[in-house]
Structure 1
């Protein structure tokens, strides 16, 4: 049970002041009843009595007497999470200057002085922000009346510690650019209180892992709040996604429209005439409806006018920057910069179409000592997702991308299975993992290609650049010599036939007239990447590619040209990974270049016209007659 009373020496004064969650402003108060029951009270204003001072962007140094609507909502969500037994919170800020960091400052002072013996860490994104936040916290602490604060015994650049009987301490740290493998961030320091400020700007996910390893999972008073604007696709986006479905974490979206003064009043005639009189556009209505449905918040015309003004005059019409800094929905916030490769409308269509996809079955490979002894076990969090089991009448394309084979930043092992039609390529399975071995990846790629061998062997495309050569060599050794198979499997013709029947992808460069010297597999290069990505984009925009993987759609959304200044370079924006995108581009290329003739005969169109032949014989006759019309009768 969490007792929210502030245990200062003058207990009567504490009760009278109704001390609560936060050291300043309106806070949530909880009182233990007989040491067992607990009830949550309303928000109370303590600003005048506590007189905590803070810097306000528009008003200078002021007492913390009034909370923004965003701060009230944040405290309510934190209280609801603690009521449910949740101790870890991931807060995505969909706005600037909405007071989220200030709540983290005040919570640090409250929590560590309320519960004795705590060890906290306030981590900023860089050294300058660390020093600034430390100064802000000290100013807030000094502004408290002495009756409401413990004396400190240590107060230096990186450490604040309170005297007995409190004995709590707060470490000030920085992650960001200066974190490396030799960093001592979180090491030798068992933590049970954390504020991770602007974690979206942390450049190295090892900083997050280091702090996670140091954080208690059992202390009854433990508390973690990771709070940030999005700042591109990186580790924070993964944290947000995890928290949205996690049991032990709570996700909080702190959007700009919850701050009540982000609005333009009709009395401001000039600005209202420019930005407030027009009704919502179709695009604005789409996200406004989504906000109302998801969060039960109706964005007013005054708030919409402020949004338009901010977009036009602060961000010069840059919608990507506006989405990052003032996103209306969580998925809007994680953007990349540079020129988009795939338009937003196409991405939105792909995201809407995800609702039509069947629920996937998820599995995890248990790799044994040989390929035939590995198992596929059901696992809700497994890296293999299967949306459709193999259809005996289907024709399939399998594409495989070993980690870092196409690019040093493409760090995921990805293997995708697509069902091929003459007019459509449908994703039916995907394996994706950040860790693994090359021989294991070779085994699982062959397993999927063999499992989806139906009317014909699966068309198989493999990236063989750099480490991909080893995957190819492992496959060839198994095909040619049975290497990696147990003695029992070597005698079994069925397994050997499935593996040997995989049609390896023979890539022919556009300027190569024959296949005699063509390399086995696919090798990405700076010259190939632009056109193969554009080809993928074209097929997606024409509705010929059906995607079931949300992560693949995110990768497509993050593709940018010239983010680093080179307009000829197309790659994942920010620090996101484009392994899935590259793997999908191989599948589309293989489908268009190699598989279509077979697919046209055996599978036909998924959406055939009424006059199309309905049987294989009919298609063969139709193809023959078409050839006669184009080339004349054979002699």
Structure 2
């Protein structure tokens, strides 16, 4: 049993149903089955305002099943939901929270909505659950106000409350517009609703405090759900969940999973090319496509991109850019899906000056170095701010342009320099070009003065590294666009393509959309530029080595002659 039925309920059920064993068995069966609990015990208002039973649809059922699956294996439940609009996920999440909080003792549920109006709507939902639930499982409650349901004995006398305290559980609903959230109590059940629409300046701080207050014990529940709203914190948490970089299970629910999203087809209805593609890809019928067409025309101002954000068919459709995309994202998606070579994860041990396979490494190798081949290693450096960009570097074949390795992470500048030193030496002493903007000078200092890397690129005489500026950046981006668009070189890094999809035109300047990054783009762009002049650097290095060998030879042969 996933709930520990409270003493108050056990006594009440025994008192009211001890003479009705058939009803007692029926009630026990209902309490053990969440879907039956919703249908038999909870009431909601439908879109027409009528009071109806809560009947779960397929999408709600799939979500609830995941919750109970995690509880059954002894896990804390952590779920992030990306969804189409108005699919009933607030309704079922509040039903889950009511189920666990109103039947058990000493549970604290905390719900946060994007606005005051939205939080009022969610609180009204809880109140309706409480008011309409059968009395046999309706817990005692104090006078409820300030968007809080407190399940405890409302008696005035302390002795009465001590003798029969009630559940001592509570449900609190607040708005993300609040200055501070959840700074004291431990939260057992958390619902962060429509997170993508929380106030931008408070969103990150609120999420940090809520997740810090959320119990880590098995059976605790933390749900973050939202319709998409551009490139912001919700997308970052979603992306991390998809990559397995946090403990949230990502659940996506497409618009066509909602049974109500369909309209009768008019005579002469013909599908457009886009609709035919959707029909073939997702198995949609004409009534669903008619609803989509109607909604685009009437609710989305005729903008199919807006429909994709509000009613996505796939996760990558949901996150609408704030500006015009630099690339045709459908084309980029096809490139990403057709990558011909998967990389192997490695780690760089600069202490031992070696590179080895590791499941938790920061380096992905697509093509190991081949003796006699020449390589370019280009490194983008972070801005140095806590919330700034990442360090990113690529190794490419100097002759063919083929991508050979990708390095990505956040490091202190000296550590980054040492990792680049080991990586460059591994690739036959690659021509190493480090962006000298921002923290790049410190990275270069480590490479030159500490590591004594032998083949550092100089942007101009006396200046180590590559300088990205008003003159070089447009050329870099132009050549990068051409390379990707025309598929000039073999690119194997899916994350580079992901950055391409969030590169926008902001008043004539190509840059990452708000909340996104372009570190990989800049690193690869530097690699493409440096590759164009790599031959002369390798020839210079070859002559330098020959001169060094010649000097050693003269020393060895001439030393004895001077005696």
Counterpart in the other structure of 1:252 = 251
Contact 1:112/1:169 (8 A) holds in 2: yes
**Given the alignment of the two structures, is residue 357 of structure 1 paired with residue 341 of structure 2, yes or no?**
yes
Matching of residues 558-569 of structure 1 within 5 Å: 558-562=502-506, 567-569=507-509
Q: CA 1:449/1:208 → structure 2, altered by over 3 Å: closer, same or farther?
A: farther
**Cα distance per residue 1:459-483 (max 9 Å; x no partner):** 322222222222222223225xxxx
Counterpart in the other structure of 2:551 = none
Contact 1:361/1:387 (8 A) holds in 2: no
Aligned with residue 441 of structure 1, among 404, 416, 436: 416
**Cα distance per residue 1:467-506 (max 9 Å; x no partner):** 2222222223225xxxxxxxxxxxxxxxx5xx22x23142
Matching of residues 324-339 of structure 1 within 5 Å: 324-339=309-324
Q: CA 1:312/1:357 → structure 2, altered by over 3 Å: closer, same or farther?
A: farther
Matching of residues 138-287 of structure 1 within 5 Å: 138-153=127-142, 155-157=144-146, 159-163=148-152, 164-175=165-176, 183=180, 185-202=181-198, 203=200, 204-218=203-217, 220-244=218-242, 246=244, 249-266=248-265, 269=266, 273=268, 276-278=269-271, 281=273, 283-284=274-275, 286=277
Alignment RMSD: 3.4
Counterpart in the other structure of 2:493 = 549
User: Distance between the aligned counterparts of 1:14 and 1:404, measured in 2?
Assistant: 66
Counterpart in the other structure of 1:29 = 33
Counterpart in the other structure of 1:310 = 295
Counterpart in the other structure of 1:622 = none
Q: CA 1:387/1:206 → structure 2, altered by over 3 Å: closer, same or farther?
A: farther
**Structure 1 runs not aligned, ≥5 long:** 22-27, 31-42, 292-297, 480-495, 507-514, 601-635
Larger deviation, residues 5-14 vs 101-110? 5-14
**Given the alignment of the two structures, is residue 347 of structure 1 paired with residue 322 of structure 2, yes or no?**
no
Q: CA 1:408/1:45 → structure 2, altered by over 3 Å: closer, same or farther?
A: closer
Contact 2:457/2:466 (8 A) holds in 1: no
Superposed displacement of residue 340, structure 1: 1.0
Contact 1:5/1:19 (8 A) holds in 2: no
Superposed displacement of residue 339, structure 1: 0.8
2:464 alignment partner, SS class: coil
Superposed displacement of residue 334, structure 1: 2.7
User: Distance between the aligned counterparts of 1:206 and 1:525, measured in 2?
Assistant: 34
Superposed displacement of residue 377, structure 1: 6.0
Superposed displacement of residue 381, structure 1: 3.1
**Given the alignment of the two structures, is residue 62 of structure 1 paired with residue 51 of structure 2, yes or no?**
yes
User: Distance between the aligned counterparts of 1:323 and 1:78, measured in 2?
Assistant: 27
Contact 1:81/1:250 (8 A) holds in 2: no
User: Distance between the aligned counterparts of 2:69 and 2:25, measured in 1?
Assistant: 23
**Cα distance per residue 1:27-61 (max 9 Å; x no partner):** x817xxxxxxxxxxxx54855x546233x4x4135
Superposed displacement of residue 541, structure 1: 0.7
Contact 1:460/1:505 (8 A) holds in 2: no
**Cα distance per residue 1:542-593 (max 9 Å; x no partner):** 111333232221111011113xxxx2232222311222222222222222x3
1:415 alignment partner, SS class: strand
Matching of residues 72-111 of structure 1 within 5 Å: 72-111=61-100
**Cα distance per residue 1:309-368 (max 9 Å; x no partner):** 3234432343432222111112322331311101123212222223x22242233x56xx
2:402 alignment partner, SS class: strand
Contact 1:410/1:577 (8 A) holds in 2: no
Contact 2:3/2:103 (8 A) holds in 1: no
Contact 1:92/1:228 (8 A) holds in 2: yes
**Structure 2 runs not aligned, ≥5 long:** 18-22, 153-164, 540-563
| TM-score, structure 2 normalization | 0.80
Q: CA 1:526/1:158 → structure 2, altered by over 3 Å: closer, same or farther?
A: farther
User: Distance between the aligned counterparts of 2:263 and 2:472, measured in 1?
Assistant: 50
